[in-house]
Amino acid sequence: MSARLLRVEVAPDSLFGPENLPYGVFAPPGGELRVGARLGDTVLDLVALLGDPIFARPDLNAFLAAGPDRWRTVRARLRELADAELPIDAVHPINGVELALPVRIGDYVDFYASIDHATNLGRLFRPDSEPLLPNWRHLPVGYHGRAGTVVVSGTPVIRPRGQRRTDSGTPDFGPSRRLDIEAELGFVVGAGSPLGVPVGVDEFAEHVFGVALVNDWSARDIQAWEYQPLGPFLGKSFSTSLSAWVTPMDALAAARIPLPTQTPQPLPYLRGTEDHGLDIELAVAWNGEVVARPPYARMYWSPAQMLAHLTANGASVRPGDLFASGTISGPERDQRGSFIELSWGGAEPITVGDAERTFLADGDEVVITATAPGTAGRPIGLGAVSGRILPARG
């Protein structure tokens, strides 16, 4: 008996047409985790569809390690199959599967690449000084985060506890009172690099597989007390949310744009000949209400420069490593990608529903989505990254 076949119907206005095809890891009802691709409102089971054991895994890492030629061959085949009749057991409704963290993350680095965000925080934290520190226009500032607390979208976020500054000069310890978000774009490393060999700016496409939305949850009161002189630590490491879907860089070909002018000109190792900016617009929804639309096109440092700087000292990268852009913000208030900026440090509350709000309360939910120009002349979606705040424990 021949296998039952069906053709996946994709709405004309879908953000997940055959020009997109992001990858993720899912489990069908009663099944094990394996790799899939999203088409419309369905998930294509790549093990059943392609018969390739590289996809019979609970993460994308083996596929990432296979390199760009393999990525492009598989993508071309999936685009062909998207218009064909497919075995019914290879197609699952997206609302009927369990989604998991798409990659096994060995290292996580978070940058600080938005000039608008860095300027806003400089004005808030150092009102009597220049907002940008002297190194900011010379290198992509970043810190090494905690890979073990990167969680898949939808995982609840437990309010962190930590030390907080007090007026007495002696800190106290307790739940964060200034819990915040950071709307970011994450870049997933595919092919690794050898220890001791830097990755050049224009070698980006040979090493980075795709992008995924990130929310780098931040406890601003814990962060403000601990960050000098070594930078972020417990105020960041409690949770970072990652979208379940990784959009291949090839799907973003129509979103490539020049970077804003960089002054002064970066040092030679941070210069490239290609356009590595990206025209991506995010939307931040707080309890279902969109409060900001951060524009990634405004980012000062490109992901290619971030990767070049990350490896400039000879540090290697491995398949599945993640580096994120830092908060994405624009020059207007409704383009700010964090609540510390939107509320100007708590001094200018935001109206959310019927309430005036500054930072996150227990029970709040934040959902970040994004769209970009697609190669078919219509927008594509980058999925969503969401999380709901639960009370502190202990």
- Residues 207-259: tens digit of each pLDDT: 999 999 999 999 999 999 998 888 899 999 999 999 999 999 999 999 999 99
Is 341 marked as binding a ligand?
no
Q: Give pLDDT, residue 275.
A: 84
C-alpha to C-alpha distance for 288 and 272, rounded to whole angstroms? 40
C-alpha to C-alpha distance for 229 and 143, rounded to whole angstroms? 13
- What lies within 8 Å, CB to CB, of 32 at 6+ separation is 58
SS3 164: strand
Is 296 marked as binding a ligand?
no
What is the reported pTM? 0.97
Is 240 marked as binding a ligand?
yes
117, 207, 276, 309: the active-site residue: 117
Is-catalytic flag, 138? no
Is 327 marked as binding a ligand?
yes
Name all domains of the chain by residue range, CATH numbers in brackets. 5-100 (2.30.30.230), 108-390 (3.90.850.10)
Is 227 marked as binding a ligand?
yes
How far from 279 is each of 27, 186, 266, 369, CA to CA, in Å? 32, 15, 22, 14
Q: Give pLDDT, residue 41.
A: 97
According to DSSP, the β-strands at 208-215 and 183-189 are antiparallel
pLDDT in tens, 50-95: 999 999 999 999 999 999 999 999 999 999 999 999 999 999 999 9
pLDDT in tens, 100-156: 999 999 999 999 999 999 999 999 999 999 999 999 999 999 999 999 999 999 999
Is 262 marked as binding a ligand?
no
Is 256 marked as binding a ligand?
no
Is 321 marked as binding a ligand?
no
pLDDT in tens, 175-213: 999 999 999 999 999 999 999 999 999 999 999 999 999
Is 236 marked as binding a ligand?
yes
**H or E segment at 124?**
helix 115-125
**Per-residue tokens: 36:** 């899939």
Q: What is the DSSP string of 230-276?
A: T--SHHHHT-EEE-S-BEEGGGGGGGEEPPPPPSSPPPGGG--SS--
